[in-house]
A and B are shown apart, each in its own frame.
Chain A
Amino acid sequence: MLTKIYHRATKAFFSENPNPLVKQSATTVAVVAACFSLFIPGATIVNIPYIIAGGSGALIALGLAYLVTRWEIKARTAVFIPVISLFAVGLFRVGTGGPNSLYSALIILPLIWIAAEPGRKYILFCFIFGSFALAMPFLFGDNQILRPSDVLRFIFGPAIFTVMAAIINEFARTARVRVKATEELVAEKSQLLAESLTREEEVKEAAAALVIAKKLTDSVLNAVTRQAIIGTNLSGLIDVWNPGAELMLGYTEEETVNRRYIHNFHRTYELDNFYKEIGPLIIAENMDPGFAALTEKARVGESDEREWTYLRSDNEEVTVKVAVTPRTDDHGDIAGYIFVANDVTQEREVTKLKDEFVGLISHELRTPLTSILGYLELIKDDDETELTETQITYLGVAERNANRLLRLVGDLLFTAQVESGKFPLLEGVADLTPILAAAVESAKPAADNKHVTLNLDNIYSDCILKGDPLRLAQAVDNLVSNAIKFTPANGSVNLSLQLIDGKAIIRISDTGMGIPKDEMDKLFSRFFRASTATRNAVQGVGLGLTITKAIVTAHGGSLSAESVEGSGTTFVMELPYTFQN
């Protein structure tokens, strides 16, 4: 119990800033205790009124201290309390014998408060008020005689008080400085702690996010079973091997990761050939040249996808299409490569079959057509037998239709080739001027038949560009014949050539039935026939524009159309035009 009081008292007094109440209570308690001690037999009681005044003063001071604490008045102002307290103590001393009072030491208590205030002036105050307190018996008391020794007391007393006050003031100041420094350190520490906690939180979150991200990546990699996803480091050593790779190549992750190199799965001769193809490369010391060739394009940031042959664990070959991309680290430098491989053996098979089928069909259809057309010609050209007009006409009809069939076979074959990407184009030189002239020539009979005027608008004596003259002629013929087909009698078809900005622009416009606006986007698709065509029963199967567009695109050009239903249509063919010697 006593230890508890002791601890609380120590805390109250020696804490950072004891409040006025606490500070005053020391003095008041001492004075009250002194009052009670007067009841001890032999105590010096000289003047009771002064004793009472002193005691009351101390209590009043306590009361004021309480109020000051309660109303939270500033410390500076509250310093009047120890002054009052000092007077009280002085009076008490006067009443208990003045200079001979046993309670002179009580003066020290209020002085401590005053001395501890921040500022050197309080040392002076201590000297002044301390001296006054000491002098009180001579000012108020019953004629105290001033003896020579009293003078000494007047010098020593205040001197000691002043020294004591100075020491206390300095201690208090140092304490204050230290406290301030400590407070600052504590604040800094709290802030650092808070920051480190936040950092810790952030790190935890980042780590958790990383785990989630890795889990996601892993699950994605593992979900892919139809494609091989293989990751390697900069020299080709495998570090990622997904289930798709295992299925495709027959090796497990344990057998490959950090044990095999990606180029081990390739056919050496394929890599060698490729290496020779792409020319000399600067290769690092330990890098396999095949691997270097494999990743060359990826290394410079270009996308790369090509076909390769992989060797499975059971020595079977697998044709794959491989896309190579680089992997970067957090500095943006290349840290490895990712290979995504698709098994295309099936695809290849199918394409091969399709090609074979198309070839077969075209052959099978052409053979009987050869006979039909051939024998028709023999009949016509028979020098021995004279044919009647009617017979000649009939033969003409048969021949025309056989040719129609032949053209259709050709178109079907062509679109099949376009589909599969195998496009037979002659890499030669074409002159547009004769091509356009020829197109008009060959279309004239049909145009005349329908009473459609056909005009050619070409100021250029030649217009030479890179390409396949036969195919280009086919494209132009197609558009011209379409124009005539879709133009009613007394209409006109105009064919023009312009050279603008390095492009040869061929325009074929007609005054025909036009194409409805909402059908324009389907215009070039296979077997598409505009409603205007079907409505007007215009002959055709819907392959012409597909073929024409394919030809133009293969030449690096573009084909577009503008049309107004009921008014006419214009097709614009743009081809890149380069001077040829």
Chain B
Amino acid sequence: MSFEIIIADDDVDIRGLIEAAARKAGFKVAASVSDGLDALEAIRTHHPKIAVLDVSMPGMSGLKIAEKVREDSTLDNVRIIILSASVHEAAIHAGLASGADTYVPKPFSPKHLAAELKRIAEL
């Protein structure tokens, strides 16, 4: 059985990278969106195993989405990976504090991301 994954990032090329990483890890991409609100909607609809969220997105930031997901008890099984180009310490802490399971800085290696996806899925 392959797990489902939701991808949210406002850059189309980066979405492509994440999709490739997902394929490598044997996941099925349930939705690949560029807007925060769309992402939240998709998560609620699909109940994916993992949601990979970019921090800065139009509509709603990845952090906010993570918070909302954690607030929703029906989404307890959804794992969250936060992606960000920010180097600020504060951003990392904020990301983890909002309920993400891990934080992946950009640029990232698709291979590494694939490994992370596999690891997180097993949590």
Q: Which of A359, A367, A410 contacts B11 (CB 8 A)?
A: A367
* Nearest-CB residue, chain A, relative to B56: A363
**Chain A residue total in the interface (Cβ 8 A):** 19
* Nearest-CB residue, chain B, relative to A373: B107
Contacting residues of chain A (141-167) with chain B, CB-CB under 8 angstroms: none
Contacts of B107 in A (CB 8 A): 366, 369-370, 373-374, 406
Contacts of B106 in A (CB 8 A): 366-367, 370
* Nearest-CB residue, chain B, relative to A425: B89
* Minimum distance in angstroms from A460 CB to a CB of chain B: 30
* Nearest-CB residue, chain B, relative to A375: B17
- The distance in angstroms between the C-alpha atoms of A406 and B111, with both chains bound, is 18
Contacts of B77 in A (CB 8 A): none
Residue B75 is within 8 A (CB to CB) of chain A in the complex: no
Residue B26 is within 8 A (CB to CB) of chain A in the complex: no
A362 contacts B85, C-beta separation under 8 Å: yes
* Minimum distance in angstroms from A399 CB to a CB of chain B: 11
Contacts of B20 in A (CB 8 A): 374, 378
Contacts of A373 in B (CB 8 A): 107, 109
Contacting residues of chain B (9-39) with chain A, CB-CB under 8 angstroms: 11, 13-14, 16-17, 20
A366 contacts B17, C-beta separation under 8 Å: no
Mask: chain B, 26-60; 1 = CB below 8 Å from A; 0 = not: 00000000000000000000000000000010000
Contacts of A369 in B (CB 8 A): 107
Contacting residues of chain B (88-109) with chain A, CB-CB under 8 angstroms: 88-89, 106-109
Contacts of A374 in B (CB 8 A): 14, 17, 20, 107-110
- The distance in angstroms between the C-alpha atoms of A374 and B89, with both chains bound, is 24
Residue A424 is within 8 A (CB to CB) of chain B in the complex: yes
Contacts of A362 in B (CB 8 A): 85-87
Mask: chain B, 72-88; 1 = CB below 8 Å from A; 0 = not: 00000000000001111
* Minimum distance in angstroms from A359 CB to a CB of chain B: 7
Q: Which of B86, B110, B111 contacts A363 (CB 8 A)?
A: B86
Contacts of A424 in B (CB 8 A): 87-89
* Minimum distance in angstroms from A29 CB to a CB of chain B: 120
Q: Which of A359, A371, A410 contacts B88 (CB 8 A)?
A: A359
**Chain B residue total in the interface (Cβ 8 A):** 18
Residue A75 is within 8 A (CB to CB) of chain B in the complex: no
Mask: chain A, 374-388; 1 = CB below 8 Å from B; 0 = not: 110110010000000
B13 contacts A371, C-beta separation under 8 Å: yes
Residue A426 is within 8 A (CB to CB) of chain B in the complex: yes
Interface secondary structure of B, over-half rule: loop
- The distance in angstroms between the C-alpha atoms of A378 and B20, with both chains bound, is 8
- The distance in angstroms between the C-alpha atoms of A272 and B65, with both chains bound, is 36
A413 and B110 in contact (CB under 8 A), knowing A371-B11, A374-B14?
A: no
A371 contacts B89, C-beta separation under 8 Å: no
Q: Which of A363, A366, A406, A426 contacts B89 (CB 8 A)?
A: A426
* Nearest-CB residue, chain A, relative to B11: A367
Q: Which of B14, B16, B111 contacts A377 (CB 8 A)?
A: B111
B17 contacts A413, C-beta separation under 8 Å: no
- The distance in angstroms between the C-alpha atoms of A42 and B3, with both chains bound, is 174
B111 contacts A381, C-beta separation under 8 Å: yes
* Nearest-CB residue, chain A, relative to B18: A374
* Minimum distance in angstroms from B32 CB to a CB of chain A: 15
B86 contacts A359, C-beta separation under 8 Å: yes
* Minimum distance in angstroms from B42 CB to a CB of chain A: 22
B86 contacts A371, C-beta separation under 8 Å: no
B110 contacts A366, C-beta separation under 8 Å: no
A367 contacts B85, C-beta separation under 8 Å: yes
* Nearest-CB residue, chain B, relative to A423: B89
- The distance in angstroms between the C-alpha atoms of A362 and B86, with both chains bound, is 7
* Nearest-CB residue, chain B, relative to A410: B87
* Minimum distance in angstroms from A90 CB to a CB of chain B: 130
Contacts of A381 in B (CB 8 A): 110-111
* Minimum distance in angstroms from A454 CB to a CB of chain B: 27
B87 contacts A377, C-beta separation under 8 Å: no
Contacts of A410 in B (CB 8 A): 87
B17 contacts A370, C-beta separation under 8 Å: yes
B88 contacts A377, C-beta separation under 8 Å: no
Q: Which of A370, A377, A378, A426 contacts B85 (CB 8 A)?
A: A370
- The distance in angstroms between the C-alpha atoms of A344 and B17, with both chains bound, is 45
* Minimum distance in angstroms from A325 CB to a CB of chain B: 34
Contacting residues of chain A (335-391) with chain B, CB-CB under 8 angstroms: 359, 362-363, 366-367, 369-371, 373-375, 377-378, 381
Contacts of A426 in B (CB 8 A): 89
* Nearest-CB residue, chain B, relative to A403: B107
Q: Which of A359, A378, A406 contacts B110 (CB 8 A)?
A: A378
- The distance in angstroms between the C-alpha atoms of A342 and B11, with both chains bound, is 44
Contact sample, A vs B, 23 pairs, CB 8 Å cutoff = A359-B86, A362-B85, A362-B87, A363-B56, A363-B86, A366-B107, A370-B14, A370-B17, A370-B85, A370-B108, A371-B16, A374-B14, A374-B17, A374-B108, A374-B109, A375-B16, A377-B109, A377-B111, A378-B17, A378-B110, A381-B111, A406-B107, A413-B87
Interface residues of B (CB under 8 A from A): 11, 13-14, 16-17, 20, 56, 85-89, 106-111
> Beyond the given A366-B106, A374-B17, could you list 5 further A-B residue pairs with CB under 8 A, ordered by the A residue number?
A359-B86, A363-B86, A374-B110, A375-B17, A381-B111
Listed from nearest, the 6 A-B pairs whose CB atoms lie closest are A370-B107, A366-B85, A374-B17, A371-B13, A370-B106, A363-B85
